[in-house]
Amino acid sequence: MEQDDASASPRGRSGAPRACEDAPEELARRTRILEWTLEHLAQGVLALGPGGRIEAWNRRVVELLEVPEELLVRGAPVRDLIAWQVENGVFSAVAEPQQQAWLKAAACYIEGVDASLWAVQSYRRERRDGRVIEVHVYRAGDGAQVRTFSDVTAHVRAQRELSASEARFRAMADAAPAYIWESDAKGDPVWFNQTWLRAVGRTLEQALQEPWSARLHPEASGFPEEPWQALVRRAQPFQLEVRVLRADGRELWLEDHGIPQFDDQGSFRGYLVYGWDVSARKAAERSLIAARDEAERANRAKSEFLSRMSHELRTPLNAVLGFAQLIEGDAHARGDAVLGERAQYIQRGGRHLLALINEMLDLARIEAGTLPVRLEPVALEPVLQGSSRLLGPAAAERGVQVELPPPSPEPTWVSADPTRLRQVLLNLLSNAVKYNRAGGRVRVALRAVGGRLRIECTDTGPGLTAAQRGSLFRAFQRVHADADAIEGAGIGLALSKALVERMGGRIGVESEPGEGSTFWFELDRAHPAAAGGGFAPPLPHAEMTTLPARDDGRPWRVLYVEDNPVNQLLLQGMFGRLEGAELRMAEHPQAALELVRDWVPDLLLLDIQLPGMSGFELLRRLREDPRLATRAAVAVSANAMAEDLQLARDAGFDGYLTKPLVLGELQATVQRMLRRGRAGPAAA
């Protein structure tokens, strides 16, 4: 009954026995899964027991280790497997750097001398066909271990190609004449090529440890840290110049070009920078700058010399021409024709010397690029008529007739500087008269050439050869100078050419021997416009012996501040020809300041170069007196450079008289200034 009861219990009878029956099947199933997994792994797997005996393996091990499958027997010592590989030369292809040490460790292990040498964690071995196998060893606490074998041939070859490429790059970079370096993502250098290192006399390790300040030349302004970091943050290409200190102490200027480098994910990993030695260019730039500075210094010195020379020459000429004018006036008043003629000779010689001085100054200023030329619309006919009148006496003396173009209903306008245009016309007309035959003719004609106007001056002189025409416009070259005793220094035509070109025109000559010459120049046409500013031009140099009377009946008061006694005597003589003016002199600025306390002048005539105080400063001091604020002031100076006139304008002068003084110009200027004052009629 008990058996029947027991057998009657399905769980009791069948439960345990069924579990025991299922366990081997489950174990077998799992074993099959494990074996299937091992067989299909891309890696070879070799399991060893605690005693170093083979426990399990997969077929991939046989393929990768190149050993006979019969050596892989469960329970066989792995030492036999290793010994077979050593004997058959399989381990001789173990890849560097593990090859020698690893083989030694394998031999010791086989001989049982020192098994600890076999305790490597991983290594690589290279098969005889060139494939590389990477081995990893995983150990258990009881001494058992699992070894995995992976084919890493593709990875190793890629690494080798990359290393070879980097080696080639390093070799080429080291051999290159360029200065090459690399930075990391923060902008700090991580490598310099040998060209760079040789230049600074450092090893790579030393160079990488130095801050940028130690790499730069001591006179450099320092590495631009903030701009550099901004470049790094933006990872942008750059180009900058760096001044480096060489090992031999010389400077090295590099023009660095930075190329940003990015990894496969597009992240910035640093710069590759190549630089070129631009020291020669920098030296050339410095030389050019030094040459420019020297040229500017020389030009300034030349301008200062010319200004001083002009002043020194004009000061004695002021006395020569001034007193000659007074002598001529006295001779005319007494009816002494001989004395008057002699005075005219003095004036003629003085004016010729003055013209040479002016031409030399203008030519020098043109060469220095400091001659001012202000273009504006200019009516041509009045300039022609005025120039013709000035040359009238010289033409009459030689019997030369000057013919101007017939009057036109409307003025002809050209774009020119009025003063320089008059200077060119006077020079060409003067040459046409001087180099003409006695009783000859000079004809001026106007002709349209496109948008320009050509002014032609034709004479009936001896004409010019081709050789003479070729040297006409060179400074100090004179034509017919040996045959004719004609005044001149050969400056006029060279100056005229420079002036015409500065006004945007061109100049030339047409001539044949025996047929006369036609000198011409062209200027752009212009439309009528208002006249420019500046000092008011002087009135015609007519004799004006009487000044207009004042309302209160007293004479006009004129103060002249001049330290040169000869110039004082000259001005006294010239004012002796003016009725209605009271002239007082002051030899120095302080005397002038004391004089005006009780005697208020209506007109101030101030020399510029005064002892102790310039004429500019004296004018400022005088104008501080409210009584003199509206009084006109005229600079009287031998300084005739354009910048001198501009300085006078800036200082507040209302007019400028250049020494040597011309009596008619002085009289006209005094009359005009006394009439208008500064801001209206002069106060009492």
Contact indicator for 106, 118 with CB cutoff of 8 Å: yes
Lowest mean pLDDT among 157-161, 263-267, 429-433: 157-161
Using 50, 70 and 90 to split pLDDT, how confident is the model at 540? Answer: very low
Per-residue pLDDT, 635: 93
Distance CA 175, CA 301 (A): 52
List alpha helices for 380-527, DSSP H.
380-398, 418-434, 466-471, 492-502
Question: Can you tell me the mean pLDDT for 36-59?
Answer: 86
Q: Is the pLDDT of residue 681 over 70?
A: no
Highest mean pLDDT among 110-124, 601-615, 640-654 belongs to 601-615
Three-state DSSP class for residue 456? strand
pLDDT digits (tens, 9 = 90+) for 237-277: 988 888 888 888 888 888 999 999 998 889 999 999 988 88
Lowest mean pLDDT among 57-61, 107-111, 211-215, 235-239: 107-111
Least-confidence region, from 67-76, 114-123, 526-535, 581-590: 526-535
The sign one gets for the Cα dihedral 425, 426, 432, 433 is: positive
The HSE-up count of residue 388 (CA atoms within 13 Å, CB side) is 17
Q: 20 to each of 16, 25, 33, 374, how far by Cα in Å?
A: 6, 9, 21, 123
Cβ atoms of 520 and 457 within 8 Å: the answer is yes
Closest alpha carbon to 66 in 99, 94, 38, 102:
94
The burial of 500, by beta-carbon neighbours within 10 Å (0-12 exposed, 13-18 middle, 19 or more buried), is given as buried
Given this model, what pLDDT does residue 200 score?
85
Place 5 in a pLDDT band, splitting at 50, 70 and 90.
very low
| pLDDT for residue 483 | 44
pLDDT of 566 strictly over 70: yes
Using pLDDT thresholds of 50, 70 and 90, give the confidence band for residue 475: low
Average pLDDT over residues 357-366: 69
pLDDT for res 173: 74
Give dist(CA 69, CA 343) in Å, integer. Answer: 138
44: part of which helix (H) or strand (E)? Answer: strand 44-48
Strand pairing report for 401-403 and 441-449: parallel
Q: What does the pLDDT average to over 634-655?
A: 86
- Residue 353 pLDDT > 90: no
**298, 311 in Cβ contact below 8 A?**
no
The closest alpha carbon to 444, from 434, 524, 465, 433, belongs to 433
Average pLDDT score over the chain: 80
Q: What is the mean pLDDT of residues 322-349?
A: 83
Tokens found for residue 204: 């790579």
Average pLDDT of span 326-342:
85
Tokens at 394, concatenated: 């010289």
Identify the pLDDT of residue 620. 93
Q: Is the pLDDT of residue 37 over 70?
A: yes
Spatial distance between the Cα atoms of 304 and 370, rounded to a whole number of angstroms: 12
- Over residues 653-681, the mean pLDDT reads 79
Residue 108: the pLDDT is 66
Determine the pLDDT at residue 524: 92
Residues forming beta bridges with residue 148, ordered by sequence position: 45, 136
pTM: 0.47
Q: What percent of the chain has pLDDT over 70?
A: 83
Q: What is the pLDDT of residue 23?
A: 76
Q: Reply yes or no on whether the pLDDT at 174 is more than 60.
A: yes
CA distance 380 to 415: 10
In this prediction, residue 90 has a pLDDT band, given cuts at 50, 70 and 90, of confident
Task: Give the model confidence (pLDDT) of 581-600 as tens digits.
Answer: 899 999 999 999 999 999 99
Amino acid at 341: E
The span from the CA of 564 to the CA of 176, in Å, is 75
492 has pLDDT over 50:
yes
Which percentage of the chain shows pLDDT scores above 90?
Answer: 19
